[in-house]
Amino acid sequence: MLISSASRLWPSYRAGACLTVDLSAIVANYRTLKERVADSICSAVVKADAYGLGAAYVAPELEKAGAKEFFVAHVDEGIILREHVSPDARITVLHGPRPQAAADFVRYDLRPVLNSLEQIETWRNEARKMDRSLEAALQVDSGMSRFGLSDRDVERLSEEAALLDGIHSTLIMSHLACADEPENRANSEQRQNMLRLASRLPAAPLSLSASSGIFLGPDYHLDLVRPGAALYGLRPCATQPNPLQSVVRLQAHVLQIRDLAPGEGVGYGLTYRPLEPRRIATVGAGYADGFSRHGAKDGCVWFGDYRLPVIGRISMDSMSVDMTDVPEGLLSQDMTVDLIGPRRSVDDVAQAAGTIGYEVLTSLGHRYHRTYVKR
């Protein structure tokens, strides 16, 4: 069932490619994760506009499926999200409050994650200004050295309780650095570090695992999990089968088909020159649409069961593919090929480009016509 063709984006008859987002698959993935964590709360991470897929479409469906906790990175993401979920939904902002933005957290009912003593001071001052207790999550650095309160910070908080005056801690969280590597001992070390640090703070529910951490087992689920990439079909562990449904399909239009003689060059730098006659197509998507020049030689698109290798360099707005194996009777003007689809996942695209599926999803451009569907 078609839910919406996003009118703010290019219409299908003008766009170079069409991106279909399967909201039912996102909901199914959420339910799969929720079942796996049993009694723990399963939240939903919708930062970066739901990993590039449109939080305004994704978040309401997740809330209908039972999600009551949402996580974003920046305060403005939270402000925008507040328009699309119910007043009862809790929105947590991972980067915490900057001094001049603290009042906006209160105004839009956003819970900050406090990552430092400075952010705690900012939030304590805001509570004093509001003359009431304000809710917050506390993040501890369990070993990633990115966000969170250090051992020394936690020690000071345990010795000076007044530092948390006016702050109602409703979550203590941390983040795993190697959750996609199940055998890495850093995972168990971080878990122990988090539990040790949390024991020195005011009691609150605990959260450690994001997408990959969920698959480390019940010991890592604690009170709340924070899946993001897994909701959108990305593989939680590279060495294990993906238990999640694919969420996106990206079909690009063929703008031109031509025959290539032996020795003729293709694209910038003329880096591809065939030794025999080939038939090539120019496809209407390029690096401005999220397809990196790096690793292009390992890339491909699909037309039905035909794998079409990318040849030459990917341009800003287009790429060239070898269509020699496709029977001439199947060729047509304005035909489409799958850049992402049943035969090529987001993770496959990432592997060819030497990156991760997170980057591919969040880099998909805004020049696509977007369609949201539910089954």
Residue 3 within a domain: no
* Counts for the chain of helices (H) and strands (E), in that order: 11, 18
Residue 318 within a domain: yes
Q: Do 198 and 300 belong to one domain?
A: no
CA 98 to chain centre: 24
Strands 41-42 and 224-225: what pairing?
parallel
Strands 224-225 and 90-93: what pairing?
unpaired
Distances (CA, A) of 340 to 14, 254, 283: 20, 15, 13
Domains held by the chain: number: 2
Position 375 scores a pLDDT of: 82
Q: Is 297 a catalytic residue?
A: no
Q: Do 348 and 293 belong to one domain?
A: yes
CA 49 to chain centre: 8
pLDDT tens profile 148-178: 999 999 999 999 999 999 999 999 999 999 9
Q: Is 306 a catalytic residue?
A: no
Q: Do 162 and 279 belong to one domain?
A: no
Last residue of a domain, one of 201, 232, 263: 232
With cut-offs at 50, 70 and 90, classify the pLDDT of residue 12: confident
| Structure tokens given for 315 | 């341009």
| Structure tokens given for 30 | 């959420």
| Structure tokens given for 288 | 């401005």
Instruction: Report the binding-site residues.
Output: 146, 316
**pTM for this model (two decimals):** 0.95
Q: Do 116 and 221 belong to one domain?
A: yes
Q: In sequence order, what are the residues at sequence separation of 6 or more whose Cβ sits closer than 8 angstroms to the Cβ of residue 344?
A: 300, 301, 302, 338
Position 4 scores a pLDDT of: 56
Report the candidate in 125, 78, 81 with the shortest Cα–Cα distance to residue 104. 78
CATH code (residue 283): 2.40.37.10
Q: Catalytic residue among 34, 64, 108, 268, which? A: 268
The parent domain of residue 49 ranges over: 23-232
Last residue of a domain, one of 232, 257, 274: 232
Q: Do 227 and 254 belong to one domain?
A: no
The owner of tokens 């219409």 is 11
CATH code (residue 137): 3.20.20.10
pLDDT tens profile 327-358: 999 999 889 999 999 999 999 999 999 999 99
Residue 7 has pLDDT above 50, yes or no: no
Instruction: Report the binding-site residues for substrate.
Output: 146, 316
Q: Catalytic residue among 47, 220, 287, 372, which? A: 47
| Structure tokens given for 33 | 């994760």
pLDDT tens profile 288-320: 999 988 877 789 999 999 999 999 999 999 999
Average pLDDT over residues 48-59: 97
Last residue of a domain, one of 232, 257, 283: 232
Q: In sequence order, what are the residues at sequence separation of 6 or more whose Cβ sits closer than 8 angstroms to the Cβ of residue 244?
A: 29, 32, 230, 233, 234, 235, 236
